[in-house]
Structure 1
């Protein structure tokens, strides 16, 4: 909550709010929401111009207390005045941005948005499987650094529950033409999955086409040794190597094919999600 009296926690809260908005504004499910966001941003920019000017004034008025690390007061005064000058230049640029944003808001206010056609999980549509950010994403982002993005995709694939994941994406509007990504995001593809991640903003999301699933091995439905056997010798497709439970695997495969025939969907995969952290769905 803002204090209105202590600039330090209020600045921290402002940074966190802008960081959240930078992520959330990558997509807008309802385009009419953009006008309200622009209005709030216009007010924020006006306040930012005022804040910069006030901090510049504070540097000027407090310059008699300034010194460098060696105790040189003359150097400290020079730096305080230089800081104030740069801040006033920044405030002037923010003032120009405010005028541009005001004009954009006025133009946006003249737009009449029409309802979008009903969203369907057609072939080629992309759903969000899971989205993690902040502390929930740290371990997997570190895993990308240490073992590569494929290792993170293989773990995140455990959140994919087939039809249940597709239904949840449709219900919550997490369906896209292409995986949403910001200018600084990185993408990696493995089988049917696309991983979008950002080490600086500490978030990552896993996406796939609504009508496609990756290999059973990647999903954890089939032992890799069994997959290798079936690839090398089609006649042994029903024979599982020692220790592999072939019955449940084949049953799931049959269910998958039946589901594909029923509709452009994917199979129900009944399993626990990996780890103890809950996956967040991407809503914006």
Structure 2
């Protein structure tokens, strides 16, 4: 139970409460609480103003009992009056503090705090995976003209949102571009190319930024066994292919490369 007739205990409890408040306000997580906290601080300052006045009055009231260390009552009474004067002066300064806090509280009361914007995360989706003869053509481009030209060539398979939806539906979404121990990596713009001349495959991926969404977890858990559509090389070039008719991400059954992990 609170004690209201023990000033020493009250001062100790007030000090402890302010220490806790100083610790708690180092990094507030919910700004919507700031107005209420500010109101509590304002009320505390008003109470402190009252405390200072009462302490000053107590020094004046009991000055007849005041003595200095040598036992001089006149000197002790003079010190009591001086202390009372300083306490009154401190209370006057607190009036300014209260005025500023009141203004701050008024402004804080006009704020409507909105939730943080949803955090976005970066994923990578497969645009096209080629092996065999189709991959050899791209590997020849890399050898002859460089990786940037090869990426520009493979970007013809990227149909934007349509490609994104196909990748999400089939679970070809990754935390980082998947690569094997023998794969090489090249980047250009929003695309990343992983390729292996030794294993004879190329894989183009595109950066995909999305807010966390539980609905995306289910497509990410689907496996290649649930999506048996395979890519077949026809030699007709990327622009003649339809993304919705062919799964460009599946490996040819003849490849010996290890399967890639899926994550979202």
Fold match by TM threshold 0.5:
no
| Shorter-chain TM band | 0.3 to 0.5
Structure label with greater radius of gyration: 2
What's the TM-score once normalised by structure 1's chain length? Answer: 0.42
